[in-house]
Structure 1
Amino acid sequence: MSVTGVLRGRSLARKDVLPAAGLFVLGVVFLSAGWDPFAWGKEPPWPVPLPWRLVVLAGACAAVLVRRTRPLPALGVGVLFGALDLLAGFSVAMLLALWELLHSAVLHASKRASRLLARTVMALTVAIAVVLFATAQDLQVVVLLVLLMLDLVLVPVWWGVTVRQERETAETERLRAEQQARIAELDRRSAVAEERARMARDLHDVIAGHLSAIALQSGAVDPRRDEREIVDDVLRAIRQNSVEALREMRAMIELLRSQDPQDRRIPDTAPPRLAELDLLLDSARAAGLEVAVEGGAAPPAGLPASVDLTAYRIVQEALTNAIKHAAGARSWVRVFPEGGDLHVEVVNELTRGGEPVLPGAGAGLLNMRERAAAIRGTVTARRDGDRWRVHAVLPVAGERERNER
């Protein structure tokens, strides 16, 4: 047992011993002084010596020791000794002991037992009051007896019920506070996980997109064989991807360093959009991919920023995967609105045999699906004959309404 447990046990024992000892000492003083206000006239019906009165009082005080751990048995023992003391005159200390036992039984017993005890006490009190009024010869004396009985019996019951209700209310509030704290902690963890997932997607787009393109472009050209014009085009594409990757990485690092999301020191770097689709296609062509745009490269006007960025990232990831797994193959990109949604479709031929030019981490398809799900869209990626088809459906009208709220 720990030191804290020992100290707590001693503290609880002291809370039990002090009231019992105090009641017994008070009873000894009162009985020794001959102050017995509840005696039956001059002589009680069963006069007993003082030592026996003290034995009866000691039994009731012993029940006080276990009034919190065994409330109902302690009350039963106290009532038994109280009945014995009643025949000898019923002392004030015995009355206080029964008062404490009744209060503790209502307070510490089970909820069902406490409720039953309170109702029983009230019913007995009402029954006794009715009998007294029915058989009374002096109404004034009966009223005084009933008021005294209410003070001596109903007050401890009422007090115990009130304290119990306050404790239950406090316990309910404590549990509610713990639940709210637990929910807040889960929300915080969820927010952190969501933010980490978002950062992972952004880093993947920058690294897997731009840097993979750089690696493929630099490996696809041979300065000793290729014409100078081809080499210059590849070098320009490599430089463009490098600058773009550095720009996005710098913006992300500055955002992570800042404590204030409205910090003006963060550079105003606009996220890539479908308006820059031609640059993305040129970069893919420089890496050796034959890319054609169906329906023109101009994106629909008036797209929400979230839809525009998501569509761009899906095209970027799909082309990056095509470069990795189908180098030199033909690809088609199609972006078109339909029924309040924006459809993004990237199709590429499947190469027969051979290994991917660059190893993949397997996160590309997952990132595309997560980006689409963030704006309540969907992405499907599957084989379609001798081609690989990526098709995204991004809601435009719903996202525009969310942005306007």
Structure 2
Amino acid sequence: MVGLGFLRGRSFPPDRRDVLPAVGLFALGTFLYVAGWYPFFRDVHTLALWNLPIAWRLIPLFCACLAVLVRRHLPLPALGAGLLCCVVDVLMGFSISMLLVVSELLYSATLHASRRASRTLIRTVIALVVLITTGLLWSVHDWQVVVLLILLMLTIVFVPVWWAMTVRQEREVAEAERTRAKQQARIAELDRRTAVSEERARMARDLHDVIAGHLSAIAIQSDAVGSMASDGPAVSTVLRSIRKNSVEALTEMRAMIELLRGQNADEQQLPQDSPARLAELHVLLDSARATGLEVTLTPTPTTTPTTPTTPTDPPVDLPPGIPASVDLAAYRIVQEALTNAAKHAAGSRAWVAVRAEDGDLHVEVTSKLAGTRNPVLPGTGTGLLNMRERAAAIGGTVSAEPDGGCWRVHAKLPLGPEKEHKHS
């Protein structure tokens, strides 16, 4: 059979959405044939080359309806089979029944074929419409017949193609919107993962800075107690320092947990601004001295101070209105630098200098190198990284390098909001 030729070797089960149109078109076409309403003209035999019974006309109609079953999977072969059936039907006198099936196949081919094939089909249909219209205007002198034939041709050929083209464009726009929505969702998910990763890194850095200094001091001081068994006052001083560092570690850990929760014990929202910390620098110095490290607070950086370390440190000369982020970062950098000095050069000397110069806050911690002595505690390698990350977060820099027989940590932190914002 003509309509089954293009199905050989194919295994495309008919779509349920195509079964009903195929059956409906065949039933409607059969009804038009039986009722005698199928011809375009009163006497169809005037245009027919083959005068056959109505039953024979159902064969090409049936084959064309079979092509409707695979119009989604094979749009162009289905259209080709339908046009071939249409040629056979024209030889018997073109009918409305076949017209309905061909219009449906034209619509499906324009809608479901590839974009290139669809555009070629549209151009072909437009060219045929123009060619046939020109021929009718040239050969037919009755303008009413010309108008009727042109309207009929537009209904048969142009309207299904134009309709399918409009539906296809709307589908492509909708698909593009869905693709863009998926891409935006993917980007949002990647941004969320990046934010989570950065937040986890920040939390790890904060935990290290808050707890490691205190716990390192506790460990170093505990180790020193064993060598002070005969020195009662010194043991008492170290034990008091151990207790103080323990309490401060617990206090800061509790504050960090409450900050992460967003509320304090009274269910009140915690302030987001960090408190000023450089004003409490003496706490860090006392804790470092309890480990056996001789620490001197100087107004300018030096490695050979002329004055000995004294229990009472001079006040830190801080500029007014120092940003809270800079204040906290400077405090943590000093804390980490003194912790590293106590780890790697216990019993040695260190100098701390904090000054404002040219719109920047300079923080320097210089300590004597340990030489061949083994460190009291092994380092994790994250301290220097944390200092650099803290400085970079507010637009500053940190350098750490040997300087003669000393180890020098120098942080440069911007004090102006414009500069800080520019770097951030």
State TM-score, norm by structure 1.
Answer: 0.89
**1:352 has 2:371 as partner:** yes
Alpha carbons 2:14, 2:69 under 8 Å: kept: no
SS of the residue aligned with 1:195?
helix
Displacement after TM superposition at 1:305 (Å): 0.7
Q: Which deviates more, 308-317 or 198-207?
A: 198-207
Alpha carbons 1:251, 1:266 under 8 Å: kept: no
Opposite residue 198 of structure 1, the aligned amino acid is R
Show the counterpart of 1:97: 101
Displacement after TM superposition at 1:337 (Å): 2.8
Matched ranges for 1:3-402 at <5 A: 13-39=15-41, 41-43=43-45, 44-46=47-49, 47-221=51-225, 222-226=227-231, 228=233, 230-258=234-262, 264=268, 266=270, 271=275, 273-295=277-299, 297-398=316-417, 402=421
Q: Which deviates more, 14-23 or 267-276?
A: 267-276
SS of the residue aligned with 1:298?
coil
Displacement after TM superposition at 1:270 (Å): 5.5
Q: Could you say if the C-alpha distance between residues 269 and 397 of structure 1 is closer, same or farther in structure 2, counting changes exceeding 3 Å?
A: closer
Q: 1:12, 1:311 → 2: CA distance?
A: 74
Question: Residue by residue, what CA displacement relative to the aligned partner does 1:142-161 show, whole Å, maximum 9, x if unpaired?
Answer: 12221222222221111111
Opposite residue 17 of structure 1, the aligned amino acid is V
> Which structure 1 residue ranges, 5 or more long, are not aligned?
1-8
Alpha carbons 1:72, 1:105 under 8 Å: kept: yes
Opposite residue 225 of structure 1, the aligned amino acid is S
Q: 2:33, 2:263 → 1: CA distance?
A: 76
Q: 2:391, 2:420 → 1: CA distance?
A: 17
SS of the residue aligned with 2:88?
helix
Q: Structure 1 vs Structure 2: percent identity of aligned residues?
A: 63
Q: 2:103, 2:114 → 1: CA distance?
A: 19
Question: Residue by residue, what CA displacement relative to the aligned partner does 1:309-332 show, whole Å, maximum 9, x if unpaired?
Answer: 111111111111111111112212
Q: Could you say if the C-alpha distance between residues 399 and 210 of structure 1 is closer, same or farther in structure 2, counting changes exceeding 3 Å?
A: farther
Q: Could you say if the C-alpha distance between residues 291 and 252 of structure 1 is closer, same or farther in structure 2, counting changes exceeding 3 Å?
A: same
Opposite residue 372 of structure 2, the aligned amino acid is G
Displacement after TM superposition at 1:266 (Å): 4.8
Alpha carbons 1:334, 1:344 under 8 Å: kept: yes
Alpha carbons 1:39, 1:88 under 8 Å: kept: no
Q: Could you say if the C-alpha distance between residues 269 and 115 of structure 1 is closer, same or farther in structure 2, counting changes exceeding 3 Å?
A: closer
Q: 2:271, 2:356 → 1: CA distance?
A: 32
Q: Which deviates more, 377-386 or 63-72?
A: 377-386
Displacement after TM superposition at 1:219 (Å): 2.5
Q: Which deviates more, 301-310 or 138-147?
A: 138-147
Displacement after TM superposition at 1:302 (Å): 2.0
Q: 1:39, 1:48 → 2: CA distance?
A: 17
SS of the residue aligned with 2:372?
coil
Question: Residue by residue, what CA displacement relative to the aligned partner does 1:305-358 show, whole Å, maximum 9, x if unpaired?
Answer: 111111111111111111111111221222223333222222211112232211
Question: Residue by residue, what CA displacement relative to the aligned partner does 1:156-186 show, whole Å, maximum 9, x if unpaired?
Answer: 1111111111111111111111112112211
Q: Could you say if the C-alpha distance between residues 172 and 391 of structure 1 is closer, same or farther in structure 2, counting changes exceeding 3 Å?
A: same
SS of the residue aligned with 1:307?
helix
Alpha carbons 2:263, 2:270 under 8 Å: kept: no
Q: Could you say if the C-alpha distance between residues 401 and 319 of structure 1 is closer, same or farther in structure 2, counting changes exceeding 3 Å?
A: closer
State TM-score, norm by structure 2.
Answer: 0.85
Alpha carbons 1:304, 1:400 under 8 Å: kept: no
Alpha carbons 2:394, 2:420 under 8 Å: kept: no
Show the counterpart of 2:306: none
CA RMSD in angstroms, aligned pairs only: 2.7
> Which structure 2 residue ranges, 5 or more long, are not aligned?
1-10, 300-313
Displacement after TM superposition at 1:216 (Å): 1.5
Q: 2:248, 2:276 → 1: CA distance?
A: 10
Displacement after TM superposition at 1:196 (Å): 1.3
Opposite residue 124 of structure 1, the aligned amino acid is L
Q: 2:416, 2:273 → 1: CA distance?
A: 26
Q: 2:271, 2:161 → 1: CA distance?
A: 71
Displacement after TM superposition at 1:12 (Å): 5.8
Q: 2:134, 2:272 → 1: CA distance?
A: 87
Opposite residue 369 of structure 1, the aligned amino acid is R
SS of the residue aligned with 2:15?
helix
Show the counterpart of 1:4: none
Displacement after TM superposition at 1:39 (Å): 4.7
Q: Could you say if the C-alpha distance between residues 376 and 266 of structure 1 is closer, same or farther in structure 2, counting changes exceeding 3 Å?
A: closer
Opposite residue 378 of structure 1, the aligned amino acid is T
Displacement after TM superposition at 1:239 (Å): 3.0
Alpha carbons 1:38, 1:89 under 8 Å: kept: no
Q: 1:307, 1:162 → 2: CA distance?
A: 61
